[in-house]
Amino acid sequence: MIISSALLFVWFLQNKQTKAPEDLTIDAAITRINNKDFKKADFGESHVEFTDKSGNKFITTIGSDPIRETLLTNITEFNKANSTSPVETTEEPKSNGWGWLLLIQILPFLLIFGFLAFTLRQMQAGGNKALSFGKSKAKLLNNQQKRVTFKDVAGVQEAKEELQEIIEFLKDPQKFQKLGGKIPKGVLMVGPPGTGKTLLAKAVAGEANVPFFSISGSDFVEMFVGVGASRVRDLFDQGKKNAPCIIFIDEIDAVGRHRGAGLGGGHDEREQTLNQLLVEMDGFESNEGVILMASTNRPDVLDPALLRPGRFDRRVMVGRPDIKGREGILKVHTRKIPLDENVNINVIARGTPGFTGADLANLVNEAALNAARLDKKVVTMADFEVSKDKVMMGAERKSMVLSDEDKKLTAYHEAGHTLVGLKVPQADPVHKVSIIPRGMALGVTMQLPESDKHSHTKEYLTSQIAILMGGRIAEELFFGDANVTTGASNDIERATDLAQAMVCEYGMSELGPLTFGKKDEQIFLGREINQHRDYSEETAIKIDEQVNKIIAKQYGYAKELIESNSDALVRLAEALLEYETLGSVQIRRAVAGLPLENDDESPSSDDDGSPEESKNPFKKPILPPITGNNPATA
């Protein structure tokens, strides 16, 4: 298309700049020959082009051979009489006549016609072409694509069983229909990001021998009004033509949000699209054999009409995997990776509580990249440990050089976290402490829960607050109140959030089992725009008092622990300054005043992994919900 346009432009430019030859009759041509006006005559098959002494060109048409011979005779006689200024004559072969001239003349029009035909064909084609914006963008999975099966999915056994039943229904509907059962019309998969919802849908497509259409929730709505509803209709029309089939909508919250909550009101384009989706799922027309699957990590924003039975009959929870699930996921992702004999998948699984399937896939990939970077032939346990540190704490900032004073401050700060973590009750065991700068932190103290936790006691939460305060207290006691740093800002923020959650959400204060400040912000509005306060000013003062009381109590408790164990803290800080990173065994030996040269710690207290390769493993902690899964950082 670009080449055609360029040729057209050049052709028109040349035609515009070139002066057309002037027509000349035969008699006028003979007269001008005798007047010595011409210096050249080019004889073609049907014309003669004369060139005068000024370079101007003239065309004389010759319709028959006698006229041609007459002109040649006149020029020959003229040249005999005027040998000093003869007329030069040339004669073109007869085969190079009007055909080339005709082609040159019609070529631009052929290019224009071809360009218009190509454009029209593209506009009329399906998919996402110009005139098909009302057509569905759903992709039909074909047999040539790489298939994902349930063998490639691990860690979500209950979800697999729920979806396996739907596949069996599609393959053998009589098994269920003879007992009066009906195939579910819709399945909604709900869970945090990275837990494998989309992968499960791909596995269903690979297992079920029926057409599988996939589309994203954001593919429905565009700039044109009515496009979303049109695409929904077209999507279900395709489904009906290929029934029985499965339609999968990824991230359905992009189109299925609660109606009436947006700034656009009832005329919002998303609402029109959602209304059409509701009608297609369970309206007057039957969609027998069309199963709708969808995934979301925000079920709270979906419209209630979308979630009712008859539309989404089944809701499948896809949560974070437990230790067995993590082990299965790691085995799936390490199938094609050459592992060293010392790699213990069970150890890695136990050391990664709270990891999702996506986290574990990234962990394995980073380990393989690290082994390749070091020109290894197999991936070792040490590569997995480096990968954990990089994934969870960030890459080491090797270019960042800390002064001796900053290093000492960081060492005492992290030693404060660590010492309090060892002394408070119900706290997760301190597993690793480091003063190597990573990411945004100058140091990090890691805690490893002994098992997966799903709820937390009041004592556990208060212990977390004490641990968070340990860094600031160590700075204050050993360097003076005037030399405390901003390194504890994140610790203070997280401790305050946790104390507020204990008072306002968990009912763990003297105010009793009450909740304050309902989270009922509008679906399309952020918390900053719409905040709801359901308590009085007097109650707000009491809430602040309770938060301050919890923080002050744990601050005092942590300060008392550090003051009574100051010698142990000094030993721990000095060990950090010497070794920079300490494992759990080294931490206990430093506190006890024992030498640290040989740390034969394995990844777990009773594991059989290689001690040297798996030294100082990092395990992700599970902290209270209000603070997420971030480690206590400097």
In angstroms, the Cα distances linking 165 to 247, 384, 411, 479 are 16, 37, 56, 65
Residue 78 and residue 33 in contact, taking contact as beta carbons nearer than 8 Å: yes
> Of these residues, 162, 414, 475, 601, which one is catalytic?
414
Residue 447 and residue 430 in contact, taking contact as beta carbons nearer than 8 Å: yes
**Is 414 labeled as catalytic in the residue annotation?**
yes
DSSP string, 112-130: HHHHHHHHHHHHHSSTT-G
Dist CA 612 CA 148 (whole Å): 38
Q: Which two tokens stand for residue 590?
A: 């430093």
Q: What is the largest CA-CA distance in the chain?
A: 132
341, with CB counted inside 10 A (0-12, 13-18, 19+), is exposed
Sign of the CA dihedral running 561, 564, 565, 567: positive
- The residue among 316, 349, 351, 354 whose CA lies nearest residue 333 is 349
Q: 3-class SS at 7?
A: helix
The DSSP call for residue 267 is G
Dist CA 47 CA 563 (whole Å): 114
601, with CB counted inside 10 A (0-12, 13-18, 19+), is buried
The DSSP call for residue 339 is B
DSSP string, 186-223: EEEEE--TTSSHHHHHHHHHHHS-S-EEEEEGGGS--S
Catalytic positions, please?
414
